[in-house]
Amino acid sequence: MEIDNKLEKLSSKALLTNTPPKRIRIRPLTKATIVLRSTLVVLAILTVYAFYTLDSKDVSLVQGLVATIQNIKVMFLEPQFNHFTFTHALKQVMVTLGLAFLTTIFGAIIAVVLGLFAAQNLSSKRVSAIIKGFAAFIRAVPTVLWVLIFAVAAGLGSVAAVIGMTFHSVSYLIKAYSESFEELDKGVIEALQASGASWWQIVFQAVIPSSITYMISWTFLRFEINFAVAIAMGAAAGAGGIGFDMFMAGSFYYDIREIGTVTYFILTVAILLELLATQIKKRLKVNI
CB count within 10 Å of CB 204 equals 12
**Average pLDDT of the segment spanning 63-81:** 83
Q: 97-125 pLDDT, tens per residue?
A: 988 999 999 999 999 999 999 988 888 88
pLDDT computed for residue 151 by the predictor: 79
Contacts of 228 (CB under 8 A, 6+ apart): 270
CA dist 273 and 230 (Å) reads 14
Burial class (CB in 10 A: 0-12, 13-18, 19+), 153: exposed
List the one residue out of 148, 179, 273 whose CA is nearest residue 222.
273
Contacts of 51 (CB under 8 A, 6+ apart): none
What is the distance, to the nearest Å, from the Cα of residue 74 to the centroid of all Cα atoms in its chain? 30
CA dist 20 and 29 (Å) reads 27
Q: 136-159 pLDDT, tens per residue?
A: 998 888 888 888 888 777 777 778
Burial class (CB in 10 A: 0-12, 13-18, 19+), 17: exposed
Q: Is 0.85 topped by the overall pTM?
A: no
**Average pLDDT of the segment spanning 274-281:** 80
pLDDT computed for residue 110 by the predictor: 93
Cβ 115 vs Cβ 276: under 8 Å: no
User: DSSP of 204-256, one letter per residue?
Assistant: IIIIHHHHHHHHHHHHHHHHHHHHHHHHHHHHHS---SHHHHHHIIIIIS--H
Q: 24-45 pLDDT, tens per residue?
A: 566 666 777 888 889 999 999 9
CATH architecture, range 83-284: Orthogonal Bundle (1.10)
Query: What residue segments make up the domains of the chain, in order of their start?
Result: 2-75, 83-284
Confidence of residue 284 (pLDDT cuts 50, 70, 90): low
For the chain, the C-alpha Rg in angstroms (whole number) is 30
pLDDT computed for residue 224 by the predictor: 87
Cβ 220 vs Cβ 254: under 8 Å: no
Q: Is the dihedral of CA 142, 144, 149, 150 positive or negative?
A: positive
Q: 194-253 pLDDT, tens per residue?
A: 888 888 888 888 888 888 888 888 898 899 889 988 888 887 776 778 888 888 887 777
